[in-house]
A and B are shown apart, each in its own frame.
Chain A
Amino acid sequence: MAEILANGVRLHVQRVTPPSDVIPTGQTVVLIHGLIVDDLSSYYFTLANPLAAAGHDVIIYDLRGHGHSERTPTGYALRDSIADLDGLLTALAIDRPVHLVGNSYGGAVAIGMALAHPERVADVTMIEGHYATRGFGAEMAETLHLVTTGIHDEKWVTWIAERGRKTLKLARRGVTLIEETSISADLLATPAAPRESVAALGVPILGIYGGDSEVLERGRDLTNLVADSHLIVIPDCDHRVLFNTAPYLCEVLVWWYAGRVGAPPVFVPPAVPFEPAPLSKKMFPAAAP
């Protein structure tokens, strides 16, 4: 486990490099995870190792307050997440543009990074990614409220308990992150990124969203706004695109990073329907404030 001081915060970082029998592409991919009940392990067991096996230098890290990274009492605004990532790249002495991949909230960090430090970003892949549109802060704060309400909701507790004690432990740790730090207030205060700035983004955007996702419209909006972009919609899938379609995502990323030669890989739907996301509003609509 590598612990790296970035922007004054101790971040847990894992660097997954190509195996010795693979020719390195010389490209670096940084994977940014989602909020609260998420950490770098979501990527470690899905995209990180296959991308390294394809020759990429892959960096995954736990966001501040998540996983094994330092839990500071404050500093959870989107601009802090961007400064942490910028500090991490500096600490790792990476001065060439990197490919960013953001899952959910990680998408907002990736787009924010591309806006603030375009020279550091080769392109951005949004996996069900949010970005700082008008109302983004309120939406994030509402999601955090759903988590703190849900931990006292019998239906939700039963659902996660069925998935094992460690899932419940992860959820409870997420609740303490919300209750013991400034994360809700920090996110609520997120300013919207000016649409003209997003439209003028000089980096290509690949969006991969679920057809049944509440975030799909954000992906449509973003890819309509940015000229050099490509949107892939996974039918009958909700917010859990990363967990449900990881092997396909790897194929798409390898195609994208190799220069988008030919048509993108085609998604083959599974025989069994996808499991619904645990924190969808459909699951406990009454819990919303």
Chain B
Amino acid sequence: MRSHLGAVIGDPELVHTEITMETTFGGDLDLESIEFVALADRLRTAFGERVNFVAFLAEKGVDDMVTLTVGDVVRYVAARVREG
């Protein structure tokens, strides 16, 4: 996940940021909407159509994505990959 985040945000900005499962995209990483799009695109490329970020956000009812954590996304991706 760190490498995907590094690619969308730009590694220099992540050097001093510790990324844990509790790290929030909106608060801690200050991820912009356009960076969310790039992250969604990378996850779909890496894991296939089953990883649908937009559907995931809709299911969670997350509007502003501020409270979404790295752990939320990791658990979602892991579950979809397990389901096959």
Which positions in A face B, CB cutoff 8 Å? 1, 14, 19-20, 39-42, 44-45, 49, 62, 67-68, 164-166, 169-170
Contacts and interface: CB of A to CB of B under 8 A. Distances in A.
A40 B34 contact: yes
B34 A45 contact: no
Interface of B: 26, 30-34, 36-38, 40-42, 49, 52, 54-55, 57, 66
Contact of A14 (B31, B37, B57): B37
Contact of B54 (A40, A49, A67, A169): A49
Contacts, number: 46
Contact of A68 (B26, B34, B52, B54): B34
B30 A41 contact: no
Contacts of B52: 19, 49
Contacts of B36: 41, 45
Contact of A1 (B26, B30, B33, B38): B38
Contacts of A41: 32-34, 36-37
Contacts of B54: 44-45, 49
B77 to A, nearest CB: 17
A8 B40 CA distance: 27
A1 B41 contact: yes
A159 to B, nearest CB: 16
A164 B36 CA distance: 16
A66 to B, nearest CB: 9
Contacts of B32: 41, 166, 169-170
Given A19-B49, A49-B54, A169-B30, A164 B66 contact: yes
A169 B37 CA distance: 17
23 contacts: A1-B38, A1-B41, A1-B42, A14-B41, A19-B49, A20-B49, A40-B34, A40-B37, A41-B32, A41-B33, A41-B34, A41-B37, A44-B37, A45-B54, A49-B52, A49-B55, A62-B34, A68-B34, A68-B38, A164-B26, A166-B33, A169-B30, A169-B32
B49 A39 contact: no
Given A44-B54, A45-B54, A49-B54, A166 B38 contact: no
B31 A166 contact: yes
A268 B37 CA distance: 29
A41 B52 CA distance: 15
